[in-house]
Structure formats: structure tokens, C-alpha cells
Amino acid sequence: MAQTKGPAGRFGARYGTKVRRRVNVIELKQKNKHKCPYCGELKVRRVSLGIFSCKKCNSKFTGGAYIP
């Protein structure tokens, strides 16, 4: 049995390979820091579904479900 790496490793051998790969791609994108549209810094983090916050200029804005 191959070991699953990345965020989907918590699922172990369950749910199938395709689903775990999709989860890996989505979760790695959403947990990355993103560029702020106001100050231009890489300080934006996802707060909740579709809500993003910049740690530098304290601006909150909406975007896509996983990436702004």
C-alpha cells in the first residue's frame, strides 16, 4: 500500500486515489499565502469560505471559495 502524502494523508487508504489527489491540490492552494490586491504583499490568508484577510494592511475582502 502506497503512503498518501500531503493534506489528504489523514484519509489513509480510504475514498480512492483521484479524490485524495483533488483534495491535495485544493488544500495546498487554499492554505498558501496569496497576494493582497490593496497593498501587494504576500500576506493574505483564508479566514473562512470565500473570505480573505491581509495581515499587513488588515483589509478583508471576498473571493473564490479557495483562492481569492
Structural domain span for residue 61: 32-68
Indicate the pTM of the whole model: 0.78
**Do 40 and 18 share a domain, yes or no?**
no
Up-side HSE of residue 65: CA atoms within 13 Å toward CB? Answer: 2
CB-based contacts of 39: which residues, under 8 Å, 6+ apart?
A: 54, 56, 57, 59
**Do 8 and 18 share a domain, yes or no?**
yes
pLDDT (tens digit per residue) in 4-38: 788 888 998 899 999 999 999 999 999 889 999 99
**Do 2 and 21 share a domain, yes or no?**
yes
Query: With contact defined as beta carbons under 8 Å apart, do 40 and 33 qualify?
Result: no
pLDDT greater than 70 at residue 60: yes
Q: What is the CATH number of the domain that holds 53?
A: 2.20.25.30
**Do 27 and 42 share a domain, yes or no?**
no
**Do 4 and 23 share a domain, yes or no?**
yes
